[in-house]
Amino acid sequence: ILLPQFSTGISPHSLVDFNGISMTRVFTSNWENVQNFQARPDDILIATYAKAGTTWVSQILDLLYFGQTERQKTLPIHERVPFLEVYLPPNMSGTEQADNLPTSPRLIKTHLPYQLVPKSFWEQNCRVVYVARNAKDNMVSYYHFNRMSYGQPAPGDWNTFFQNFMEGKSMYEILWQEADLSKNSLHVLLYLADTEREIDKLCSFLGLSPSAEEKKMILGGTQFDNMRKNYMANYSTFPLMDFKISPFMRKGKVGDWKNHFTVAQNEEFDEDYKTKMTDPTLEFRTTI
Ligand code: A3P
């Protein structure tokens, strides 16, 4: 396994306070280039809290814009949709990858909180697709991801992870609550809601009108079982993950939090959530 090679300083996996946000060096060491990144007007920024369904929507957008082409068959999703703030030397940084993307539009992914997104995205009035997932499942997914990904801080056991997460000692930590959701250039997509409806809404936001056949191809190509088997979408080509601990395409379900949260943890979470999430327009499903 190729671990990131940072020349000096603290471990790449330790959390550091970065502009008030908990991050690791994997996401902060290329900051100057991230901050100065030059967005283009037709760029589409895929913004999510990590593990909210980023890969799912990346695949939807890639199929919508570029169809089932050679690119789908030969380039892994993390090359088709670069991760803006990531830097795992000796690999190319996310900004460099985005700069080198030959496509138009460019699909670019970020987990940065709203206030840290490079300002050129706003200046260029780029369209932003934000994916939101119910926070309990998002947290469980993140726990398993931290177990298997070498780029993340080690989570400890579930109870330790839960406590740290509740205390804000977890990566990124902040959702896009401060984003102005009524902004014309921002569209919010709900993970595992009615996919066909979400795709229709996404298309009208993007001004696209795929044929019935194209829509069918997109629905099929982004189904969990199909993406799980798709080597160009399931991250099996990415070196810093141990699928023996937990696969990237883990369950893809709503409600797995019930297999992890204790009754007391659920109460603590609900209490905290009520004080922090005040947007009544988003309706998440925590069970099916
Ligand atoms: P689970 O760990 O709950 O299974 P991200 O892409 O933001 O890292 O999110 C990863 C989560 O999305 C994982 O959730 C993964 O299984 C799920 N996922 C990925 N592709 C999916 C798809 N096509 N349909 C449903 N869920 C998907």
Mean pLDDT computed over every residue of the chain: 88
Judged against a pLDDT cut of 60, whether residue 4 lies above it is answered with no
pLDDT, residue 186, reads 79
Taking the C-alpha atoms of residue 87 and residue 7, their distance in angstroms, rounded to an integer, is: 13
Say if residue 70's pLDDT is above 70: yes
Q: 10 lies in a domain?
A: no
**Ligand 1 pocket mutation, candidates 230, 249, 256, criterion most atoms within 8 A of CB:** 249
Any domain includes 281: no
* pLDDT tens digits for range 16-25: 888 888 888 8
Pocket of ligand 1 (CB under 6 A): 48, 50-56, 137, 141, 144, 222, 224, 227, 249-252, 256
SS3 116: helix
Number of domains in the chain: 1
| Choice from 49, 55, 245, 254 to test ligand 1 binding pocket (greatest atom count within 8 A of CB) | 55
pLDDT digits (tens, 9 = 90+) for 98-113: 999 999 999 999 999 8
Between 89 and 160, the more confident residue is 160
Position 184 scores a pLDDT of 61
Whether residue 280 is predicted with pLDDT greater than 80 in this model: the reply is no
* Per-residue pLDDT tens over the stretch 206-260: 999 999 999 999 999 999 999 999 999 999 988 789 999 999 999 999 999 999 9
Confidence of residue 154 (pLDDT cuts 50, 70, 90): confident
CA–centroid distance, 32 to ligand 1, in Å, is 30
The answer on pLDDT for 274 being more than 90 is no
The domain that holds 193 is classified in CATH as 3.40.50.300
Nearest CA to ligand 1 atom 8: 51
Catalytic residue among 13, 78, 111, 144: 111
Tell me if 2 is assigned to some domain.
no
Range of 31's domain? 16-276
pLDDT of amino acid 174: 54
13 is catalytic: no
Ligand 1 atom nearest to CA at 141: 2
Percentage of the residues of the chain whose pLDDT score is greater than 70: 89
- The per-residue pLDDT for 31 is 94
Task: Answer yes or no: is 57 within a domain.
Answer: yes
Residue 222 placed within a domain: yes
Categorize the per-residue pLDDT at 1 as very low, low, confident or very high, splitting at 50, 70 and 90.
Answer: very low
For residue range 166-181, what is the model confidence (pLDDT) as tens digits? 888 777 655 555 455 5
For residue 155, CA distances in Å to 87, 151, 170, 237 come to 21, 12, 9, 23
pLDDT band at 275 (very low <50, low <70, confident <90, very high): confident
pLDDT score for 2 = 46
Q: Which atom of ligand 1 is nearest to the CA of 131?
A: 7
pLDDT for 204 equals: 94
**Nearest atom (ligand 1) to Cα of 145:** 2
Q: Give, to the nearest 10 degrees, the angle between helix 195-206 and helix 212-221.
A: 120
Select from 227, 50, 79 the least CA-distant residue to 141.
Answer: 50
Residue 284 has pLDDT above 90, yes or no: no
pLDDT at 181: 54
pLDDT in tens, 72-85: 999 999 999 999 99
The protein residue whose alpha carbon is closest to atom 26 in ligand 1 is 252
Atom 14 (ligand 1) nearest CA? 252
5 domain residue, yes or no: no
Dmax of the chain from CA atoms?
54
Q: Is 223 helix (H, G, I), strand (E, B) or coil?
A: coil
Radius of gyration in angstroms for the set of CA atoms belonging to the chain, rounded to a whole number:
18
Tell me, yes or no, whether 177 lies in a domain: yes
For 119, phi then psi, to 5°, come to -65, -20
Residue 11 lies in a domain: no
Q: Is 134 helix (H, G, I), strand (E, B) or coil?
A: coil
